[in-house]
Amino acid sequence: MTQAEPNQQNIEAPAKHGPTLGLVAGGLSIGLLFVMFYPTLRATAEICWSNDNYSHGLLLPLIAAFFLYDRRQSVLKELGAPDLSLFGLGLLLAAVPLFWLGEVSDIVFVRWLSFFPAAVGLVCLLVGTRAGLRIAPAIGLLFLAKPIPDSLAPKLFNSFQSFAASRSAELLNLFGVPVYLRGNVLELPGMQLLVEEACSGMRSLMALLTVAVIVLLFSGGGVLKLVVVTLSAVLLAVALNVFRVTLTGLIARYVDLETATGFFHGFSGLLIFLFGLWALFLVARWVDRGIQR
């Protein structure tokens, strides 16, 4: 019996170092990922800080962290030891050429895209595929901080500006207000209203789309709910922005221009966004009830 005890201790000794080595390897891997993508993450954070259209991105890491905390039991339930996850390895391999393309072309958005398969793939390798897939939605949520490439953003903004200006001009004519549309400028009797980039509706669209994804993350739902809620967010953002520009024109015509472009302009943006949130939650509840039936 006395001879067996040292042997048993020798056998159990390596097992004690297993978790420690796993933590060290995981920490080094995550650190390497952070170092590789630090310039990209910093550039994205600076865009969110300086561009009002993406200012919601500053809150997304906190929301993602809360999502993980809220889902911690399901993550821990699926937690496994680090293994050679073919799914995770495939994502990592897919991220390599995408990251290289971003480096060669010096396009931040391409490197930003490559971050997500790299991050999810690494997590799957560290904690197992099942637990990694539980964590993946929180990582994917961060993409909404900058979902539009810089080359495409001006075209989208211009399209939304033109649509808001033209539809608002039609509605103002229906209300008996004579309007001449010149580009993105609404020419009313004795005054002009410019539909600027801030009035294009893109800010509301980005915010409502982000809220739609957050609602889907926390409430769950299938493909039907995803499609309905996302489309509703787009339609609400467009319709509410046209309503806001039209109402601004009516106030400018029947009250005064200073009131329309001053306090009302800023306050109406907040009210309309809050109404959009309320409508979006109603749509999500309506879809849930339809699915339950």
Task: Note the pTM of the prediction, 2 decimals.
Answer: 0.76
Q: Across the chain, what does the average pLDDT equal? A: 81
Q: Are residues 175 and 287 in the same domain?
A: yes
Query: What's the pLDDT score for residue 275?
Result: 84
pLDDT tens digits for range 32-46: 889 999 999 999 999
Q: Are residues 109 and 164 in the same domain?
A: no
pLDDT at 151 over 70: yes
Given 102, 124, 145, which residue is the final one in a domain?
145
Q: Are residues 126 and 214 in the same domain?
A: no
Q: Are residues 226 and 137 in the same domain?
A: no
Q: Are residues 67 and 191 in the same domain?
A: no
Given 115, 145, 175, which residue is the final one in a domain?
145
Query: What's the pLDDT score for residue 237?
Result: 85
Q: What is the number of domains present in the chain?
A: 2
| Residue span of the structural domain in which 274 resides | 153-292
Query: What's the pLDDT score for residue 83?
Result: 60
Q: Are residues 283 and 199 in the same domain?
A: yes
Q: Are residues 140 and 159 in the same domain?
A: no
Query: What's the pLDDT score for residue 165?
Result: 86
Q: Are residues 11 and 96 in the same domain?
A: yes
Query: What's the pLDDT score for residue 119?
Result: 94
Q: What is the 3-state secondary structure (H, E, C) of the chain?
A: CCCHHHHHHHHHHHHHHHHHHHHHHHHHHHHHHHHHHHHHHHHHHHHHHHCHHHHHHHCHHHHHHHHHHHCHHHHHHHCCCCCCCHHHHHHHHHHHHHHHHHHHHCCHHHHHHHHHHHHHHHHHHHHCHHHHHHHHHHHHHHHHHCCCCCCCHHHHHHHHHHHHHHHHHHHHHHCCCCCEEECCEEEECCEEEECCHHHCCHHHHHHHHHHHHHHHHHHCCCHHHHHHHHHHHHHHHHHHHHHHHHHHHHHHHHCCHHHHHCHHHHHHHHHHHHHHHHHHHHHHHHHHHHHHC
pLDDT tens digits for range 78-130: 776 556 678 888 999 999 999 999 988 888 899 999 999 999 999 988 888 88
pLDDT tens digits for range 211-235: 888 888 887 767 778 888 888 888 8
